[in-house]
Amino acid sequence: MRLHLLLLLALCGAGTTAAELSYSLRGNWSICNGNGSLELPGAVPGCVHSALFQQGLIQDSYYRFNDLNYRWVSLDNWTYSKEFKIPFEISKWQKVNLILEGVDTVSKILFNEVTIGETDNMFNRYSFDITNVVRDVNSIELRFQSAVLYAAQQSKAHTRYQVPPDCPPLVQKGECHVNFVRKEQCSFSWDWGPSFPTQGIWKDVRIEAYNICHLNYFTFSPIYDKSAQEWNLEIESTFDVVSSKPVGGQVIVAIPKLQTQQTYSIELQPGKRIVELFVNISKNITVETWWPHGHGNQTGYNMTVLFELDGGLNIEKSAKVYFRTVELIEEPIKGSPGLSFYFKINGFPIFLKGSNWIPADSFQDRVTSELLRLLLQSVVDANMNTLRVWGGGIYEQDEFYELCDELGIMVWQDFMFACALYPTDQGFLDSVTAEVAYQIKRLKSHPSIIIWSGNNENEEALMMNWYHISFTDRPIYIKDYVTLYVKNIRELVLAGDKSRPFITSSPTNGAETVAEGWVSQNPNSNYFGDVHFYDYISDCWNWKVFPKARFASEYGYQSWPSFSTLEKVSSTEDWSFNSKFSLHRQHHEGGNKQMLYQAGLHFKLPQSTDPLRTFKDTIYLTQVMQAQCVKTETEFYRRSRSEIVDQQGHTMGALYWQLNDIWQAPSWASLADHGLLSPTNYHFLSSPKEAVGLCKAQITAIISQQGDIFVFDLETSAVAPFVWLDVGSIPGRFSDNGFLMTEKTRTILFYPWEPTSKNELEQSFHVTSLTDIY
């Protein structure tokens, strides 16, 4: 049997055949551009950019100005095709489907030259019936239309009124009308990211053939019954029954560690059927709940669900079940108008401390399991407990949520709409409905997800009038807003998932937003819901500038990435703060100036006569400034948990913007918000630029190896603020960095992410401190 032929399950009393086979179409496909002048092999899952790079037809897309040089890739209409022989006798199967777990984005699909369907949503899963067109030897073609051209067409066809914004700010060098296509919104550019509107088959693709019946989907949620004080499990299974007669049988649900085994009789009528099972966990058994990192264990229980159906057909599913409750508490607070906004997990109030997550790469085929694990492990190592999966990116892959479950990271999950108004014509709504229903089913069994949120900043965009809509036209847009997020998305959440709360937007005023008709006059109020707060002008060392809000779900400051990171995507002429390259990579208007201004408030700006030294020192200083600003602001929100001052306070969440970067450019990202087990803190009594007596610190390191870890024994000749250890392009993480060194010696550990040696580390090691600039 060929390797990619997967005998999923079967069978099988004497004389019966296998009930289901799956044939993977992953691997090598052929890719061709619109006029046929370029033809190349390409991997599935994958995208055109990655295929062109792998064939040596383009360079690294992130190198220098290549985002502009390679714009043609996204403007062309590419075709993916493949010819293949199915290694089993296809005529024996009652039903054959083509399953596409993710298509990016707009395509027409031909199977043996017959059009079998179209796609327009990269967040949806598609299944096409190919029973009547499939043969032993087949051809498949996905004819893509450029998402950029499609978005422009859709916007043009929307003649009744404009749906802003038309285009991103010029400084982002992006594409227009992204709100008209259900695709990763930041792929048309963002204020920290390039424009790479990819095309391709970005997830699994396969053929499924079956007789009798097929389990299309299986999902579950644990529900706690407060009055009975017991746990129940709701299991939902969706079947396609192709047998002409009803299919009977039984289902056995077993969770051995909870001494639970229950058997149900079922009868599936022909057609699409949903089976709902309700499993009660006996009160006499102690169920260990799932806790966020830092609050307890992440206990999960193995469950098997076995469908024993007529004709000897057995279908078995196994999964890990986690039990936890989540409540969003909005209640009056003594001494403060408005309502609280905080989460109780298993009945306990928990302060959400963490960050915002954006897509880890413009090209999703480069996001490996190892990368996700490293990033998410860094989150818990830095003592965070929450990530917000921000609405301008993607619904992350299954593995992301599995890791969050395992590590105890709570996830605030946005639906993928951000910083725009959206159309609500029927075609668009149908596509969104399929997307949302599918994503709820896919994700709802993850305990890590503690809230669904309708969008990023769209209530604020509408009510603060970011797009200068005339007062008389505003009702049209409010109606569209309510149609999309309340009448559609909210209804789908209420119908599909009772196990976690839903809010329409972030920032929002929660219950107050509902009371005001789903849009608040000021969605960023300190008295309700969550806030997003950015201020690059005020002095960030002055905590009085920060909002004493109930929950800060976004705040932050930009910095430049390390020189070793930039070096890989730039050339010598780029290495100055005012180079064409430095301006090009900055997608936030005035960002480079803002960073220097903020740094200049407390630090002397670098003034070396060596331009490269000045560039490196400036980068370093932007990082010191960012760390200091985010620290001050985060500490302010943490302190505000326990106080009401001027009728404001009881902050219960601080999620800074942003954890990770999509490419090597200035942004708000930071992976080091490092916390220690027993907190050490310091407070500067004056700005470092006014400090007297700082002398240049000579810092040396002796590196040794202990198993997979490297030990850096540091010694300094003088007090050194903001000591930054750098090992060039060797990937890994220091146990602490950017620290104040007041003692003569200090030991820091380095955890490499790839195999390396003491010798390599010694060659690449470089240390900077503030005293190098002074």
Choose between 208 and 396: whose C-beta lies nearer to ligand BMA.
396
Query: Which residues ranging from 628 to 667 are in contact with ligand BMA (CB under 6 A)?
Result: 657
Of the residues 330, 435, 457, 633, only one is catalytic, namely 457
DSSP letters spanning 628-662: HHHHHHHHHHHHGGG-EETTEE---EEEES-S--S
| Cα–Cα dist 666/618, whole Å | 12
Minimum distance between the CB of residue 772 and ligand BMA, rounded to whole angstroms?
Answer: 30
Contacts of ligand BMA in 511-550 (CB under 6 A): 532
Task: Pick from 456, 626, 670, 769 the residue near ligand BMA by CB under 6 A.
Answer: 456
Pick the closer one to ligand BMA by CB: 427 or 590.
590
Q: For residues 255 and 669, which CB has a smaller minimum distance to ligand BMA in the complex? A: 669
- Runs of H (alpha helix) within 297-368: none
Nearer Cβ to ligand BMA (84/466): 466
With CB under 6 A as the rule, give the number of residues binding ligand BMA: 11
Of 141, 396, 435, 554, which residue is the catalytic one?
554
Only segment of 126-134, 184-192, 591-599, 603-611 that touches ligand BMA (CB under 6 A): 184-192
Nearer to ligand BMA, 279 or 419 (CB): 419
Q: x-or-dash pattern for ligand BMA, window 240-269, by CB under 6 A?
A: ------------------------------
Kind of pairing between the strands at 107-111 and 188-190: unpaired
Q: Is 419 in the site for ligand BMA (CB under 6 A)?
A: yes
Q: Report DSSP state, residue 105.
A: S
Q: How many CB atoms lie within 10 A of CB 143?
A: 18
Instruction: Say if strands 552-555 and 531-533 run parallel, antiparallel, or are unpaired.
Output: parallel
Measured between alpha carbons, how far is 604 from 621 in angstroms, rounded to an integer?
9
Instruction: Please report how close the Cβ of residue 167 comes to ligand BMA at its closest, in angstroms.
Output: 16
Q: How far is the CB of 124 from ligand BMA (least distance, A)?
A: 24
To ligand BMA, the closest distance from the beta carbon of 356 in angstroms equals 7
What is the distance between the alpha carbons of residues 389 and 395, in angstroms, rounded to a whole number? 8
Percentages helix, strand, coil for the chain (3-state, rounded to 5) are 25, 30, 45
Interacting positions 32-51 with ligand BMA (CB under 6 A): none
Please say if 457 is a catalytic residue: yes
Residue 190 interacts with ligand BMA (CB under 6 A): yes or no: yes
- Whose Cβ is closer to ligand BMA: residue 192's or residue 636's? 192
414 is an interface residue for ligand BMA by CB under 6 A = no
Q: How far is the CB of 423 from ligand BMA (least distance, A)?
A: 20
How near is the Cβ of 663 to ligand BMA at its closest, in Å? 14
C-beta closer to ligand BMA: residue 615 or 657? 657
* 56 CB-near residues (< 8 Å, 6+ apart): none
Segment 661-700, which members bind ligand BMA (CB under 6 A)? 668
* Binding piece for ligand BMA, criterion CB under 6 A, among 188-196, 333-341, 626-634, 691-699: 188-196
By the 10 Å C-beta count (0-12 exposed, 13-18 middle, 19+ buried), 92 is classed as: exposed
Query: What are φ and ψ of residue 235, in 5° steps?
Result: -115, 130
DSSP-derived 3-state class of residue 499: coil
> Nearest to residue 325, comparing CAs of 441, 493, 498, 550?
498
* CA distances from residue 762 to 2, 709, 712, 715, 750 in whole angstroms, order as listed: 48, 14, 10, 15, 12
Residues 333-392 contacting ligand BMA, CB under 6 A: 392
Q: What is the DSSP string of 323-383?
A: ---EEEE--EETTEEEE--EEEETTEEE-EEEEEE--S-SSGGG--HHHHHHHHHHHHHTT
The tokens of 694 are what?
Answer: 């700082």
User: In whole angstroms, how large is the CA radius of gyration of the chain?
Assistant: 28
> Which H, E and C letters describe 546-588, residue by residue?
CCCCCCEEEECCCECCCHHHHHCCCCHHHCCCCCHHHHHHCCC
- By beta-carbon proximity to ligand BMA, the closer residue of 419 and 714 is 419
List the one residue from 554, 673, 726, 772 that touches ligand BMA (CB under 6 A): 554
Interface region with ligand BMA, contact rule CB under 6 A, candidates 187-195, 220-228, 375-383, 535-543: 187-195
The nearer residue to ligand BMA, 25 or 665, going by C-beta atoms, is: 665
For the CB of residue 289, give the shortest distance to ligand BMA in the complex, in Å: 32
Nearest to 12 by CA among 240, 266, 314: 314
Is position 219 an interface residue for ligand BMA (rule: CB under 6 A)? no
Strands 410-414 and 449-453: parallel
Closer Cβ to ligand BMA, 507 or 738, answer by number: 507
Q: How far is the CB of 506 from ligand BMA (least distance, A)?
A: 8
Cβ of residue 585: shortest distance to ligand BMA, in angstroms?
15
554 annotated active-site: yes
Calpha distance 305→263 (Å, rounded)? 10
* Of the residues 192, 341, 400, 722, which one makes contact with ligand BMA according to CB under 6 A: 192
Q: Closest distance between ligand BMA and the C-beta of residue 457, in Å?
A: 5
CA distance 275 to 305: 12
Distances (CA, A) of 29 to 48, 194, 299: 11, 27, 42
Active centre residues (catalytic): 457, 554
Which residues here bind ligand BMA, judged by CB under 6 A?
190-192, 392, 419, 456-457, 532, 554, 657, 668
